[in-house]
A and B are shown apart, each in its own frame.
Chain A
Amino acid sequence: MIELKNYAISRRLLLKSGFLTIALSIFSRGELFAEVVPLETIALLQEDLFPLAKELESRSDLYMLIILSHSKIAKKDKKFIRNGVKWLNEEALSEYKKIYTKLSSKQRQSLLQKISKERWGEHFIYTILQYTLESLLGDPIYGINKNQKGWEWLEHKSGYPRPKSAFL
């Protein structure tokens, strides 16, 4: 458990968390097809799943770095996120011969419809939505929910006292 005073998502954290920023190799029929940076796939997926989060500057993609290095998130859950990115890109490849970030918006939505019918896909969409909502509606101390815009959107009044440090 690490607790930093006035924690905000920093470049340091970005560099530290290789998990989402180091390229992932996607293979097609045994051959290396593409290298994807998981964070790029996730950022676009978050926009597709909940466009408002970006519009309200929730910094949802950077929040995923907190999640991937969080002391209380189980290893299996972290692994699932990385696998989800891989499987989503493999699906994109088999449907459209392109990785997710190269698809048109329409193609991405129909791909999401398709995977939502599968167990892993539904769970993956749910997982990413969950963390996106956390970044939209969690306390700004985590470097998210900028100027409490997420709370304002839902006319939410936070509880007091607010946290003085982030729980990581």
Chain B
Amino acid sequence: MYDVCIVGSGAGGAPVAYELSNAGFSVVVLEKGKYYKEEDFSKDELAISRRDMYSPKLEDEYHIIKERTQDGSIEVYDGREYSWSFWNGSMVGGSSNLMSGYFYRLKPNDFRLKSTYGEIKGANVVDWPISYEELEPFYTKVEDVIGVSGEVKAHSFLEPRSTSKFPYTALQENGVTKWFDKACNELKFESIPIPRAILPIDALKRGACSYSNFCGSYPCATGAKGSSRAALLQKCKAKIITEAFVYQLISDKSKITQVKYFDSSGKSHTIKAKIFILAAQPIETSRLLLNSKNSFFPNGLANNNNQVGKNLIFSAGGTGKGRFYFENLSKNEQETLMQRGLFFNRSLQQWYEFEAEGKKYKGGTIDFLFEHSNIISRAMREIYDDKGNITWGRDLERKIKKTLTTSRVLTFEVFNDWLPTNECFVSVDESKKDKYGVNVGVINLYGHPHDLKVGEFLAKKATEVLEKMGAKEISMSISSSPPPNLVAGGCRFGENPKTSVLDKNCKSHELENLYITDASFMPTGGSVPYTWTIYANSFRVAKHLLGVMMEA
């Protein structure tokens, strides 16, 4: 019998494994993927980006997606047929291996959205049961333990900090950031350097960033990126069982007694522990609870109030871009533009809150970054001409050569709140099974129209900067299509068991030894990518658990 059993080894699960095993408790982590380490990693675009090496094959494991359109009709997609994947990284460390590490804290008002900005019709906006001040020490802890680099710069929405600096100085930047800063100056926009979960120097027994030019979507071969594997799991004694797909939790009326998993040969195993932590990413966490129903919990574990899977959220917003052509630049500027490897690291948060028609609204964040270096994807983007016709032969060859060698694209990403609604949730389909014979998860999707309005407002501001910088072919695309890698909610925390699954310590209201520490707990997502918050909250829960276990 272990003290603690954790399902999922990513950003949500690893901080608990690290803290409790370092305190001397016996901890086991069950991870569905394999254990890859620094020496296994490469920048093989074919394997990683084109063949999704770190995700399950959709033929074997898939989702049913039910998308609710604005007119209320529902379109059903079988993930296999539409190649629509919600997998992000099945490996020790989960998708935190593959993240770009753009790191943001939430702001104090993100913890009290309802009381600050009021209700929005059709959305289940609530305040969090904890405040920013309660999470702040753990944000700081993440800076030290995971390793966050950057420069603290004052701006309209800088969140309160208990320290004046990041523990690591900013990474080296591409010269084009100067063009960006200048444009922002002229527009009176506040350009902010983005903190990154990346080490600029050898530290924490990990290597420095080598500016490999292939960061997002690729695992890090130096250890610089703050994945939960490099930063936490490789530094603690927690036992990790790999290729262990957890398919069921067994409980009595008040406690989980064991979990069941299949190994790679399909054989079933059982693990017993005193405390169970789920951190399989929100969609899988809810699916596992719904698939574990028993006589005490006929609707699924911890689901006697029908809250499991509800209020699923993503990061709303979208993307946009502009292109810089050699013909408009001096020789020096051309060289600066084409500098490889160095980071862009700039964002705007000036409209994290904005006013329209005399009312205050929650806005969001805009990140700027160069188009991904993946050469095959960039070449493939040229296959269609401006009119949408497919091209080939010498024409296509010339087009690819010219575009890729004499221009470069600066992109932006808009992050704003994906409002929680009754229509966006996780369920399971008992008639559809994955390769393990387990009911597949159903992702019921709906984007509140308000999200699009805010996203468009922000995207327009981003295009102003690109225009000022002299970019051409500026475009933007704001939509309610969900980014699969930025997903939260499904088991929100709160005071009231009727409207939430977890209490403020992320313990299930209905079961005394079940905790959830991935992003499922978040009732609202803030207007930033939220891995820093996942890490911080997991450290917070770990501290609570230490107290509970010491007492026991």
Contact = CB atoms under 8 A, between A and B. Distances in A.
Interface of A: 48-52, 70-76, 109, 112, 116, 122, 125-126, 129-130, 133-134, 136-139, 141-142, 151, 153-164, 166-167
B223 to A, nearest CB: 13
Contact of B390 (A51, A52, A116): A116
B376 interface: yes
Interface string B380-413: 1001000001101110110011001100000000
B392 A159 contact: no
Contacts, number: 107
B397 A50 contact: yes
A148 B80 CA distance: 34
A141 B44 contact: yes
Contacts of B210: 160
Contacts of A71: 57
Interface in B171-197: none
Q: Which 7 A-B pairs have the closest CB atoms?
A: A159-B43, A167-B47, A159-B214, A163-B44, A163-B42, A72-B51, A49-B392
A130 B379 CA distance: 9
Interface string B54-65: 000111000000
Contacts of B380: 129-130, 133
Taking each of B375, B394, B397, B401, which has the highest tally of chain A beta carbons within 10 Å of its own beta carbon? Answer: B375
B212 interface: yes
Interface string B36-58: 00000111111100111100011
B161 interface: no
A125 B401 CA distance: 20
A129 B390 CA distance: 10
B213 A50 contact: no
A162 B43 contact: yes
Given A74-B59, A154-B379, A163 B393 contact: no
A51 B375 contact: no
B400 A74 contact: no
B397 A52 contact: yes
Contacts of B41: 161
Contacts of A167: 44, 46-47, 51, 53
Interface of B: 41-47, 50-53, 57-59, 80-81, 83, 210, 212-214, 218, 221, 340, 373, 375-376, 379-380, 383, 389-390, 392-394, 396-397, 400-401, 404-405
A160 B401 CA distance: 23
Contacts of B404: 154-156
Contact of A160 (B53, B59, B80, B212): B212
Nearest to B34: A1
Contacts of B47: 163, 166-167
Contacts of A48: 392-393
Contacts of B376: 133-134, 137-138
29 contacts: A49-B392, A49-B393, A70-B51, A73-B51, A122-B390, A126-B383, A126-B390, A129-B392, A129-B396, A130-B380, A130-B383, A133-B379, A136-B379, A137-B45, A137-B376, A138-B45, A139-B46, A142-B46, A151-B375, A153-B401, A154-B404, A156-B404, A158-B43, A160-B43, A160-B210, A161-B41, A163-B44, A167-B51, A167-B53
A75 B383 contact: no
Contact of B405 (A130, A137, A155): A155
A163 B58 CA distance: 24
Contact of B400 (A112, A154, A160, A161): A154
A168 B264 CA distance: 19
